């Protein structure tokens, strides 16, 4: 918007007389000055950028009101001709609620033209003089922000109707060479034969005022801003009228706008009013009231605010105090020109901040209760410290993936992971399925790094998975918080001390133990349930479930060789850890310190040759369950892969059994007998699937 400094001072005399100070004030209240010009006749001209959501700014009076909120002073009005609302000059009707207010005022034109200050005000706005009737409408829009239009009354056929356009209907907009299509369901002003104007956007050639016009109908209205915006965008038209209407105009200004046009034409074009103003529309002032908490505002701004200060400052913007408020909680009525952007107390706090001046507020954070992190947030931060310290990087993946990823994982119908929440008509196939597991995206991450010749990958993510469940509260799916970790390649660089270690399940086991210590949670490994959804996607002999006490909270393992091949990972196979995020961030209690036994435990080693599909964890669980209370620990100390005497493949696991003997009462025979008893328990549980080896 372009305006003269002198015109702004005409609406608010308390504005600084120095143009440099005035520019600084405009910038400070949020009306940013983009350009300054100096005209020998018009004086200093400002081109300002207005707030995108504030239609009331698009005029001299609106900018002056915004400055008044900071410096005070009374914002002036404009002279108007008293209008009487009564019978319309033509048959008038509105057939859509998208028309809030619509008025028509009849006048007969005389002879004359705009001169002096009014013509200068028009030129300062960047609009050239056309004719008195058109100049008057342009001036009113620039002065008070009410778009108006004039029809040549003699071109109107029958009555005037505000309605929605019909499919295929055409209009002939001003300044264009011929008719063009109007988008269906746009608000239009029409007589009995044709469209007279596209409401809120532009008038039409068929009914425009010319030098031969003697009778006019002054149109002044308020339309739904969303509808105007859609129509203007669809037609590719940007006018001063649409810029004002699509940001929300003042419904109470419709009659006042017509009254200002009528006064200008009477004074400068010898026009005469020939009848009452016709009015239709669905708008009724909602009388929206908003309460302000003075204590909360003062605490937030860190500035003491009295009741009188708040009332005076908000009154400058047009917010009047209404009765019924509690002490220190005054209630304010939202004026019609702010109904489009003021609804909540926070909106009025923003007005107070602008009135006080952001530069005048203390540069400190307000004291606010409840800003300390929750236990879950603290737990998550502690887990991240462990992961970052171990060289892992946080990543972010999509909540969706393509059906092709499910196929690459080898997940077929009948598999627990086959069913997903599926989007309908996804524009991008990569966003077809809401993810119900994270392993696929973890493998894609490793694959993408390998393509860039980055083979040492360590990454983690906090995310959510979605599982179809019609019985859930939303009727579609349940959600689960997940922390997943993937590692591939070397766990540390090669040094002079020796070769680096490759990332394997033992790396993840150590990571899990660090997390357990950090959170004081009893995390441990247990045998994997073969029916677990991810069990078939991990290496048969290198997978385990993660338990918190006796509750399963996650899993870890080496990626299945089939998937390593499917994703083209030719280096060491990746290892994967997944933990339930909700349970993981519930910090536990640190256990009491356990003193070491007075005598070192007796250790016995037993080895078993395990059949395929039988894990070391399953054997360890039987050993612990069958042991007497004085068994201190079961430890896996060796894994042997080779062939037996018949040259058949052989996998042997050696377990170290640590027996306590605190008071020295147990003999070697007691320890040996207990060890034999555990061997018998394993044989009884698994038979030939677990053969003892000497």
> In this structure, what CATH number is given to the domain that contains residue 104?
3.50.40.10
Domain identity same for 141 and 271: yes
Mean pLDDT of 61-71: 95
Q: Residue 601, SS3?
A: coil
pLDDT score recorded for residue 678: 94
Average pLDDT of the chain?
A: 90
Same-domain status, 56 and 157? no
State residue 184's pLDDT score.
94
Residue 649 has pLDDT above 80, yes or no: no
Q: Are residues 540 and 658 in the same domain?
A: no
Residue 352 lies in a domain: no
Contacts of 90 (CB under 8 A, 6+ apart): 104, 153, 156, 158, 159, 160, 217, 278
Q: In Å, what is the CA distance from 24 to each residue of 15, 55, 335?
A: 11, 22, 28
Q: How many whole angstroms separate alpha carbon 278 and alpha carbon 255?
A: 10
| Same domain, yes or no: 557 and 635 | no
Is 78 a member of any domain?
no
Query: What is residue 357's DSSP assignment?
Result: -
Distance CA 400, CA 180 (A): 43
pLDDT at 694 over 60: no
Inform me whether the pLDDT recorded for 494 exceeds 60.
Answer: no
DSSP codes of every residue in 357-379: -GGGS-SSPPP-TT-SPPHHHHH
- Quote the CA–CA distance of 243 and 147 in Å, as a whole number: 10
Closest CA to 59 of 100, 119, 12, 128: 12
User: pLDDT value at position 366?
Assistant: 55
Asked if 650 contacts 642 with a C-beta cutoff of 8 angstroms, the reply is yes
Domain limits for position 311 = 289-340
pLDDT in tens, 387-428: 999 999 999 999 998 899 999 999 999 899 999 988 877 777
Residues 333 and 458 in one domain: no
Which tens digits make up the pLDDT trace of 582-637? Answer: 766 655 555 566 677 778 889 999 999 988 778 888 898 899 999 999 998 898 88
Helix (H) or strand (E) holding 484: strand 477-488
Q: Quick count: other Cβ atoms within 10 Å of Cβ 548? A: 20
Q: Is 592 contained in some domain?
A: no
Q: At what angle do helices 294-301 and 345-356 cross, to 10 degrees?
A: 50
Is 614 domain-assigned? yes
Does any domain span residue 91? yes
Please report where in the chains the tokens 């937030």 appear, as a residue.
Answer: 300
pLDDT above 60: residue 254: yes
Provide mean pLDDT across the span 132-142.
94
- The tens digit of pLDDT for each residue in 653-673 reads 999 999 998 888 889 999 999
* CATH for 570: 3.30.930.10
Which alpha helices (DSSP H) does 317-465 contain, by range?
345-356, 375-389, 403-408, 439-451
At 47-60, the pLDDT tens digits run: 999 887 888 889 99
One domain for residues 203 and 127: yes
H helix intervals, 520-601: 561-566, 581-584
Q: Is the pLDDT of residue 80 over 90?
A: yes
* b/e per residue 89-109 (b: at least 16 CB within 10 A): bbebebebebbbbbbbbbbeb
Q: Is residue 349 part of a domain?
A: no
Residue pair 406/440 in contact (Cβ under 8 Å)? The answer is yes
Using CB atoms within 10 Å of the CB of residue 365, give its burial: 0 to 12 exposed, 13 to 18 middle, 19+ buried: exposed
User: What's the rounded mean pLDDT across residues 87-116?
Assistant: 93
Rounded CA-CA distance 417/231 in Å is 47
Residues 308 and 222 placed together within one structural domain of the fold: no
426 and 575 in a single domain? The answer is yes
In a domain, 351, yes or no: no
> Is there a single domain that holds both residue 91 and residue 140?
yes
Residue 97 has pLDDT above 90, yes or no: yes
Name the CA radius of gyration of the chain, rounded: 40
> Rounded to whole angstroms, how far apart are CA atoms 336 and 338?
5
Domain boundary among 529, 557, 584: 584
Query: What is the three-class DSSP state of 458?
Result: strand
- CATH number of the domain to which 48 belongs: 3.30.56.10
User: In terms of domains, do 51 and 12 share one?
Assistant: yes
Residues 94 and 239 in one domain: yes
Is the model's pLDDT at 328 over the cut of 90?
no
Considering only CA atoms, which of 526, 524, 487 is closest in space to residue 508? 487
Per-residue pLDDT at 127 exceeds 80 = yes
Structural domains in the chain (count) = 5
State the burial class of residue 665 (Cβ atoms within 10 Å of its Cβ: 0-12, 13-18, 19+): exposed
Helix (H) or strand (E) holding 575: strand 575-580
Contact 81, 266 (CB under 8 A): yes
CA distance 623 to 103: 92
Among 584, 616, 643, give the residue marking a domain's end: 584
Q: Can you tell me which residue has the tokens 């009374």?
A: 74
What pLDDT was estimated at residue 586?
Answer: 58
Residues 478 and 422 in one domain: yes
Query: Is there a domain that residue 145 lies in?
Result: yes
SS3 category, 157? coil
Through-space distance between the first and last CA atoms of the chain, rounded to whole angstroms: 94
């Amino acid at each position: 918007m372009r305006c003269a400094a002198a015109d702004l001072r005409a609406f608010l005399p308390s504005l600084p007389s120095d143009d440099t100070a005035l520019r600084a004030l405009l910038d400070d209240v949020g009306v940013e000055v983009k350009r300054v010009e100096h005209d020998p006749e018009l004086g200093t001209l400002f081109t300002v950028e207005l707030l995108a959501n504030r239609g009331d700014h698009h005029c001299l009076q609106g900018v002056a009101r915004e400055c008044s909120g900071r410096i005070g002073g009374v914002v002036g009005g404009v002279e108007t001709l008293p209008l009487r609302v009564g019978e319309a000059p033509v048959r008038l009707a509105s057939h859509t609620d998208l028309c809030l207010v619509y008025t028509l005022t009849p006048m007969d034109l005389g002879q004359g033209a705009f001169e002096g200050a009014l013509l200068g005000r028009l030129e300062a706005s960047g609009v050239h003089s056309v004719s008195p009737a058109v100049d008057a409408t342009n001036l009113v829009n620039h002065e008070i922000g009410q778009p108006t239009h004039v029809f040549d009354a003699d071109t109107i056929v029958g009555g005037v109707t505000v309605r929605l356009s019909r499919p295929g209907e055409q209009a002939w907009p001003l300044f264009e060479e011929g008719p063009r299509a109007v988008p269906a369901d746009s608000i239009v002003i029409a007589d009995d034969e044709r469209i007279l104007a596209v409401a809120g956007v532009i008038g039409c050639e068929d009914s425009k005022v010319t030098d031969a016009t003697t009778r006019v109908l002054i149109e002044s209205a308020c339309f739904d801003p969303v509808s105007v915006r859609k129509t203007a965008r669809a037609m590719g038209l940007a006018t001063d009228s649409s810029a004002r209407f699509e940001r929300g105009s003042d419904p109470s200004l419709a009659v006042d706008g017509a009254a200002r046009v009528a006064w200008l034409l009477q004074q400068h074009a010898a026009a005469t009013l020939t009848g009452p103003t016709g009015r239709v529309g669905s708008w009724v002032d909602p009388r929206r009231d908003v309460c302000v908490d003075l204590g909360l505002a003062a605490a937030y701004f860190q500035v003491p605010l009295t009741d009188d200060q708040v009332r005076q400052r908000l009154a400058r913007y047009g917010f009047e105090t209404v009765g019924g408020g509690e002490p220190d909680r005054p209630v304010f009525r939202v004026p019609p020109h702010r109904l489009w952007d003021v609804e909540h107390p926070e909106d009025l706090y923003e007005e107070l901040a602008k009135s006080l001046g952001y530069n005048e507020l203390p540069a400190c954070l307000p004291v606010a209760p409840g800003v300390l992190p929750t236990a879950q947030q603290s737990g998550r931060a502690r887990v991240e410290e462990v992961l970052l310290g171990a060289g892992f990087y946080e990543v972010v993946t999509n909540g969706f993936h393509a059906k092709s990823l499910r196929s690459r994982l080898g997940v077929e119908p009948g598999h627990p992971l086959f069913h997903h929440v599926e989007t309908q008509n996804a524009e991008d196939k990569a966003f077809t399925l809401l993810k119900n597991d994270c392993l696929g995206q973890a493998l894609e991450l490793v694959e993408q790094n390998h393509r860039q010749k980055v083979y040492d990958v360590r990454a983690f993510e906090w995310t959510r998975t979605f599982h179809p469940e019609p019985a859930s509260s939303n009727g579609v799916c349940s959600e689960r918080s997940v922390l997943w970790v993937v590692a591939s390649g070397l766990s540390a660089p090669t040094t002079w001390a020796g070769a680096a270690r490759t990332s394997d399940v033992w790396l993840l086991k150590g990571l899990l133990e660090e997390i357990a210590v950090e959170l004081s949670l009893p995390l441990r490994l247990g045998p994997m349930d073969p029916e677990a959804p991810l069990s078939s996607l991990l290496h048969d002999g290198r997978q385990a479930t993660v338990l918190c006490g006796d509750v399963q909270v996650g899993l870890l393992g080496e990626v299945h060789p089939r998937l390593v091949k499917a994703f083209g990972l030719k280096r060491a196979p990746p290892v994967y850890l997944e933990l339930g995020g909700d349970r993981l961030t519930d910090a536990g209690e640190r256990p009491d310190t356990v003193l070491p036994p007075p005598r070192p435990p007796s250790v016995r080693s037993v080895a078993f040759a395990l059949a395929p599909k039988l894990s070391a964890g399953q054997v360890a669980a039987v050993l612990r369950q069958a042991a007497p209370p004085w068994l201190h620990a079961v430890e896996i100390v060796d894994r042997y892969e080779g062939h037996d005497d018949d040259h058949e493949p052989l996998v042997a696991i050696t377990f170290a059994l640590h027996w306590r003997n605190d008071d020295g009462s147990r003999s070697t025979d007691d320890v040996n007998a207990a060890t034999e008893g555990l061997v018998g328990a394993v044989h009884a549980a698994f038979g030939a699937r677990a053969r003892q080896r000497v």
